[in-house]
Structure 1
Amino acid sequence: MEFIICILAGILFATGVYNILQKQLLRIAIGTGLISHAAHLFILTMGKLKRGQPPIILEGITEYTDPLPHALILTSIVISFGVTSVVLVLAYRTVNENNTDNMEQLRGNEYE
């Protein structure tokens, strides 16, 4: 199961990098979102996907799940939401100021 999720995270990373390398600002924003989702899956997988009881000490329970990966993912979700919001606001402002979302035109290069 962990192998399948690692492959899925790799596919998300690859698609995110591909979208970041595009010329449209919206695709760049989507790429950052995909990379953050891939990071969430990667953190979850590194915490080992095992089943067990919640980390509350009770009698007779010997196997607990680790709450640290879930806390890290929750923190990562909040940070990625903030980064995505900033990227979208900057893209919106750039399109309104320059009347284009093409990165080649924003760099000053002629675009055919």
Structure 2
Amino acid sequence: MKTKTINISLSQGLYDEAKRHQREYHYSALSELIRDALRWWLNPRLTRNGFTPEFERSVLKAAAEPIEDSVEWDGKGSFVDFVLKHPVTRHGKRSIRKTVQKRSSRFDHPSSDDQERGRAVHPVV
């Protein structure tokens, strides 16, 4: 991206306020804060996170919805007992492990069977 460098003059009070916002909102540099503020001013429909208000509302609504089959510890009793009684459910993943195919014989890699049986994997010189 081609950039242009500009110089701006700020009053001491405005500079101090900008530096405070830089620290508060974790901007790495003051110029990053100025660019972000300019983008927001040029497109006032964007939220502080850079999203449209409609999209941000849908993201926040989706984040607030509980995950299906989720359980929550109520703080009563032992946490260890709770975890052991409620095993982790894998959401969106197959519960059956896939079988691993053997490596192709055209590669010269030693098989795990050779290593387990104690065979010499590399020739001794």
The TM-score range, normalised by the shorter chain, is under 0.3
Greater C-alpha Rg: 2
Taking CA–CA contacts closer than 8 Å with sequence separation of 6 or more, which of the two structures ends up with the larger relative contact order?
Answer: 1
Normalising by structure 1, report the TM-score: 0.28
What TM-score, normalized by structure 2, do the two folds share? 0.26
| Structure holding more helix per residue | 1
